[in-house]
Amino acid sequence: MKQQGARVTAVMLDTVDLDAGVEFWSWFLDLEVVHRTDTYAHLSPMSAGGPHLALQRVAEPRPGKNRLHLDIRVDDRAAAEEAIVAAGGTRMGEVNEAGFPTWSVMADPLGNEFCIYEASSE
């Protein structure tokens, strides 16, 4: 049975360096910091009425691949890749799967993986 009133309000990203995480994600997604403590940072909503991206400082790095990641639509995938790498991120690879746009697997400067794809390929 559906839980009445349940909705996602934030997507929480663990990070060992809160400052670096906030700097990268607020830059890349053009989001503002709306609340910040020593442990947490909540950025503005990722889309109108959508959830916030939030970051949480943790003591240990993640031991393996993210179990949850963001898929992000960009205007120009090659230009976005270049900008991400220039900002300290990493290009992990590219995926071509029938029925989907080609996407690039990227990682932020702290190793958190995410995917980017072009708006024109939807």
Burial class (CB in 10 A: 0-12, 13-18, 19+), 40: middle
Q: Which of 118, 66, 74 is nearest to 96 (CA)?
A: 118
What average pLDDT does range 27-55 have in this prediction? 95
Q: What is the mean pLDDT of the chain?
A: 91
pLDDT of residue 80: 96
Q: Model pTM? A: 0.87
Are residues 87 and 28 in contact, defined by beta-carbon separation less than 8 angstroms? yes
Q: Express as a percent the part of the chain with pLDDT over 70.
A: 97
pLDDT at 1: 62
- Which stretch of 29-38, 44-53, 87-96 has the lowest confidence by average pLDDT? 44-53
Kindly state the helix (H) or strand (E) to which residue 105 belongs, with its residue range: strand 103-107
Model confidence band, residue 24 (pLDDT cutoffs 50, 70, 90): very high
